[in-house]
Amino acid sequence: MKSVLKLLTGGLVALAFAMTSVIGDFAKAETLLERAKAGETVRIGFATEVPWAYPGDENAPKGFVNAIALGILNKMGITNIEPVVTDWGGLIPGLKANRFDVITGGMYILKSRCENVNFSDPIGVFGDAFIVAKGNPKNIQTYQDIKNNGSVIVTGAGYNIVEAAKREGIADANIMQVPGPTEILAAVKAGRADAGGVTFFTAQNLAKESGGVIDVTDPGKLPEWTFNWVGIAFRKADTDFLAAFNKALAEHMGTDAMLQAVAEYGYTKSQLPGDGSTEFACANR
């Protein structure tokens, strides 16, 4: 009798474990869109990149990319949002490791990034610029100026500027990579780098922070191919969420409500993406 009971008990325990495993598998099978519609938290990841995306009080998501993304998510009926702040270089690895669900950091849509994440339709088009010492003593306006002068350019680890500088023939030894804008500004101010490569918006903000010792170069002097479209990034698996996001994006972009939400950060109608597409950017940038 004891043997029979033992077998029955063992069988019930095994069945319970099996059922738990099956239930767990069903839970895991739920997509990000399904979880979000059920009211679960959607985590947005971004770095401190003023005025693109940055943390406010208690990590509140600030910046025009966050404002646009939150407006789109709200249109989707998603309001349970958790901000996750990390270094720029940790954004794509963090997304792929499921530390957050969406990258709202203001990422250029580049071929190399499209291999690792899926981007939304563009939310804007932007150019880059350099920050230089007041008066621009080395007369730097382009990558070729940096190359020909043997100057050092500093930029952020994982920034598009790294690829651009290499494409223009600047030696690796003359490309300094640091965590982000604060360190870029510090390197130029200290004379450890002759130019800091950032987006034009970021360059303007750093110049303001510099106390008048930094100038910003003309973004129009850089090649056309350095102008880039920005998108919101998702994991490759989250295609249903991306499709729903793009549908809401199409209804939100360029509206009065959207432009009012981003006005304080300097985003205007001139930054709207126009007819630029993610497919074009993934293939040509």
Instruction: Encode pLDDT of 29-65 as tens digits.
Output: 599 999 999 999 999 999 999 999 999 999 999 999 9
pLDDT score, position 39: 96
pLDDT given for residue 17 in this prediction: 46
pLDDT at 28: 54
Look up residue 233 and give its two tokens. 């990034």
209-237 mean pLDDT: 96
Domain 33-125+229-278 identical in fold to domain 128-226: yes
Sign of CA dihedral 68, 103, 195, 283: negative
H-helix or E-strand spanning residue 186: helix 181-189
CB-based contacts of 40, cutoff 8 Å, min separation 6: 80
Mean pLDDT of the chain: 92
What is the domain class of 128-226 according to CATH? alpha beta
- Give dist(CA 158, CA 243) in Å, integer: 27
pLDDT of residue 214 exceeding 50, the answer is: yes
CATH number of 33-125+229-278: 3.40.190.10
Judged against a pLDDT cut of 60, whether residue 27 lies above it is answered with: no
Q: H or E stretch including 199?
A: strand 195-199
Provide the pLDDT confidence category of residue 25 given band limits of 50, 70 and 90.
Answer: very low
More confident residue, 148 or 10: 148
Tokens encoding 182: 């604060």
Domain boundaries, the chain: 33-125+229-278, 128-226
